[in-house]
């Protein structure tokens, strides 16, 4: 599934009083482009210096401050894995937070920065996969998983409506590039260099990036 799908399906279903916190990473790109902010909602990213892992603690704080509002985290697997033990805090205090973890098994933002800023193939950014749904169950919360875009809408619906704290693990394509709105010549050159210098997924990445640009043009 493309990460944009889960962002879109979530965005459509957020309540008018939703408080949404998003992590730093490519996750912020999907949130900014595919989750519309509606009047009455509150949305936040990391407050300072783009620190990772803010999503879960921000949502816990939001739910304590506003017990009746819908509080949702839209987080990366790298970010969540840094502070995930705090999910049990939500279980302990019966905070009905909802955490959507976009699972690409990668420190995605760094992977694309290595290519587009440095002209290097990706290096050292793969994450050891975690079963976040099983983790949520182990903590005493609810856990859901989705990887087929066809199922995404109804799984998100069920997840948002479950009472109590819950985690939804959305398995996504790790090769979906968070393309900038305007690509500079330097970025394009560095990107091409990284592929030419042996980026291991170069064929699939080039095909995805090209097909997206072509789709935009037609
Ligand atoms: C505490 C902290 N460590 C490192 C970074 C550098 N950094 C920014 S985004 C990122 C990767 C985020 O990975 P993930 O949460 O899996 O989200 P993705 O980019 O894959 O969507 C890293 C390591 C940071 N911003 N904050």
Could you tell which of 6, 23, 24 is best to mutate to test the pocket of ligand 1, judged by most ligand atoms within 8 Å of the CB? 24
Cα(55) to centroid(ligand 1), Å: 12
- Label residue 67 exposed, middle or buried (CB < 10 Å: 0-12, 13-18, 19+): exposed
Q: Are 171 and 121 in contact (CB under 8 A)?
A: no
pLDDT digit string, tens, across residues 4-17: 999 999 999 999 99
| Residues 169, 99: Cα–Cα separation, whole Å | 8
Closest ligand 1 atom to the C-alpha of 51?
26
| Residues 54, 69: Cα–Cα separation, whole Å | 19
pLDDT digit string, tens, across residues 150-187: 999 999 999 999 999 999 999 999 999 998 888 899 99
Closest ligand 1 atom to the C-alpha of 46?
25
pLDDT digit string, tens, across residues 102-146: 999 999 999 999 999 999 999 999 999 999 999 999 999 999 999
In the chain, the domains with their CATH numbers are: 3-107+125-176 (3.40.50.970)
Which pTM value belongs to this model? Answer: 0.95
List, as one string, the DSSP characters of 116-163: HTT-----S-BPPP--HHHHHHHHTSEEEEE--HHHHHHHHHHHHHSS
Q: What is the pLDDT of residue 90?
A: 98
Kindly state the tokens that stand for 198.
């042996």
pLDDT band at 70 (very low <50, low <70, confident <90, very high): very high
Residue 218: pLDDT over 80 = no
Could you tell which of 78, 101, 123, 130 is best to mutate to test the pocket of ligand 1, judged by most ligand atoms within 8 Å of the CB? 78
For residues 102 and 211, the model is more confident at: 102
Residue nearest to atom 4 of ligand 1 (CA): 52
Cα(200) to centroid(ligand 1), Å: 21
């Amino acid at each position: 599934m493309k990460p944009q799908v889960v962002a879109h399906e979530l965005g459509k279903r957020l309540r008018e009083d939703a408080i949404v916190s998003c992590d730093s990473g490519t996750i912020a790109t999907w949130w900014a482009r595919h989750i519309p902010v509606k009047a009455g909602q509150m949305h936040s990213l990391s407050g300072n210096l783009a620190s990772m892992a803010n999503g879960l603690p921000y949502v816990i704080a939001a739910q304590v401050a506003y017990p009746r509002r819908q509080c949702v985290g839209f987080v990366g697997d790298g970010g969540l894995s840094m502070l995930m033990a705090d999910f049990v805090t939500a279980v302990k205090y019966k905070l009905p937070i909802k955490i959507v973890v976009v699972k690409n098994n990668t420190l995605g933002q760094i992977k694309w920065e290595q290519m587009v800023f440095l002209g290097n193939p990706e290096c050292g950014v793969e994450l050891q996969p975690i079963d976040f749904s099983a983790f949520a169950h182990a903590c005493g919360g609810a856990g859901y998983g989705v990887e087929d875009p066809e199922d995404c809408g109804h799984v998100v619906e069920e997840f948002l409506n479950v009472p109590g704290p819950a985690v939804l693990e959305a398995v996504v394509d790790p090769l979906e590039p968070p393309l900038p709105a305007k690509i500079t010549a330097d970025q394009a050159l560095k990107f091409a260099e990284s592929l030419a210098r042996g980026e291991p997924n170069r064929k699939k990445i080039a095909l995805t990036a090209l097909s997206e640009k072509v789709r935009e043009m037609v």
